[in-house]
Amino acid sequence: MNDFLMDMIASELEDAVGRENCSTRPIDKLTHSVDYFWLSRMWADRGRRMPEGDFIVSPKNAQETSKVLQIANYYKIPVTTWGGGGGTQGGAIPVCGGILLDTKRMNEIYDVNTNGMYIECGAGAIYKHIEWAANEKGYATMHYPSSLTCSTVGGFLAHRGIGVSSTKYGKIDDMALQMEVVLPNGDIIETSPAPKHAAGPDLNQIFIGSEGTLGIITKAQMRIYEQPESRQFRGFLFHNMTDAFNAGRELLQKFKPSVMRLYDEAETSTLIKKIVGVEKKGAFMNIALEGVKELVDVEHKIMMEIFNKYGAEDLGSEYGEKWWKEKITFFYPGHMMDLPQMFGTMDTIAPYDKIEKIYWEMKKAIETNFPQARFIAHFSHWYEWGCMIYDRFIVDKENVPEDPHEALRLHNAIWNCGVRTAIANGGVVNDHHGVGIKLGRLMKEQYGPAMQVFEGMKKQLDPNGIMNPFKLGL
């Protein structure tokens, strides 16, 4: 695009959001070009520049967002939404340039409504901030992902995120009551005032997980909960994963713990040993029970009976409490893998009849085809019908190609191998990190002809194809 047209568009955007909220400065473009996607960080690490937006624009509300989208539609330039930039799938990277719309000015907390049990806030609010607002009134959001302090309400909704207490309180899609969304043509809509209804398909669920490809979420009502009267932890050690799965499934037919996390032997003997202090061999499981004390006591009794039956060693409450205190430490420097290592989390989800096979097949496929890679896993989010694998591959620095093109090839080949193995064995391409540009190519393999449902919605809502191009396989 020529300089003259660039300046014309910039002046229109400045008119829409205020000159101070529209930047074309190189530093702002640079800092909005690398998210937590390994490839974007590797690319920058090798001295290369990731694709950048031409205009970094920060609207204050839905009305300003609407004006930005109308300008983008007129000039047919791409719009990529950026929340906290904490996504792992390259979803917020402006791969085709154009407008980078940063939501963080939309961070107002409008209402902590203890009558309706929700908090209403701008989608650019950092989740920790809405947690504090709920805490001030004696309530809690119960959404505790490890990125609580760096990712936004809109980002979690757009990627269908999840926190550590998900087994009792649900995923982000269980926590949203109502949303305000700006459609690609600039129309501002609200989803229905209550999420469980029979007034047609659920609009919330069309925009949750849509990764900024169908519209921009500008406001949301998120559920809040009473603080639990009692929260008790218990650590267990299983001899093998099969016993742990059977015990977990049986427990979930009776009641729901808040935290339920099982580590394979490899993670138990490394991360759990280092951070939580468990020195023993086996598969470590941490459980948190919470709510009204009398109910928690009953749940505790039932849990001990079931876990006893499967030969679990009771490690008491100490390790579980330590785990809760250190739950974010797992991601601190020195504990979390980082460049120059190559790594990735291929979270997948499946019913209990498939999940253990998926784990072993993925481990075999990755470690056989890529002997330079290690595969470790834990199982973080459990339901009555199945659970998810938080499975990671790690390639140590001496085996990571220095050439960025070769590093990209190896990275994508490992991902293809792992995710295709998961799909072939009945898993889903991703559980809670989303798709972004990282996994877009695998969406058609997951959905087959069902992909036309998403493509049809995209075509209808965004006929000019300006919204976050090449993400979500769209």
Ligand X SMILES: Cc1cc2nc3c(=O)[nH]c(=O)nc-3n(C[C@H](O)[C@H](O)[C@H](O)COP(=O)(O)OP(=O)(O)OC[C@H]3O[C@@H](n4cnc5c(N)ncnc54)[C@H](O)[C@@H]3O)c2cc1C
Q: Which CB atom, from 156 or from 310, has the smaller least distance to ligand X? A: 156
Q: How far is the CB of 130 from ligand X (least distance, A)?
A: 13
Binders of ligand X among residues 423 to 442 (CB under 6 A) are 432-434, 436
Computed from CA positions of residues 188, 194, 197, 202, in that sequence, does the dihedral angle turn out positive or negative? positive
Residue whose C-beta lies closest to ligand X? 155
Question: How many residues sit in the footprint of ligand X (CB under 6 A)?
Answer: 38
The CA radius of gyration of the chain, in Å to the nearest whole number, is 23
What φ, ψ does residue 145 adopt, rounded to 5°? -75, 165
Coil, strand or helix at 328 = coil
3-class DSSP assignment, residue 236: strand
Minimum CB distance to ligand X, residue 178 (Å): 15
Which span (146-154, 197-205, 405-413, 421-429) binds ligand X, by CB under 6 A? 146-154
From the CB of 401, what's the least distance to ligand X, in Å?
24
Measured CA distances, 15 to 68, 79, 106, 468 (Å):
10, 17, 18, 23
Scanning residues 105 to 134, which ones bind ligand X (CB under 6 A)? 123
CB burial class (10 A; 0-12, 13-18, 19+) of residue 60?
A: middle
> With contact defined as beta carbons under 8 Å apart, do 350 and 428 qualify?
yes
- Selected binder of ligand X within 103, 141, 191, 430 (CB under 6 A): 103
Q: Which of residues 215-274 bind ligand X (CB under 6 A)?
A: 216-217
CA 350 to chain centre: 17
Kindly state whether residue 152 participates in binding ligand X, applying the rule CB under 6 A. Answer: yes
Binder among 53, 94, 98, 145 for ligand X (CB under 6 A) = 145
Among 29, 32, 67, 159, interactor with ligand X by CB under 6 A: 159
Residue 387: left if φ>0, alpha if ψ -120 to 50, beta else—which one? Answer: beta
Select the span of 51-59, 145-153, 236-244, 258-266 touching ligand X (CB under 6 A).
145-153
Min dist CB 364 to ligand X, Å, is 27
Chain-centroid distance of CA 2 in Å reads 38
- Touching ligand X, residues 294-353 (CB under 6 A): 331
Give the angle 348-351-354 at the CA atoms, nearest 5°: 80
Location of structure tokens 């291929």: 346
Binding site for ligand X (CB under 6 A): 35-36, 80-88, 91-92, 103, 123, 145-147, 151-152, 154-156, 158-159, 161-162, 211-212, 216-217, 331, 432-434, 436, 468, 471
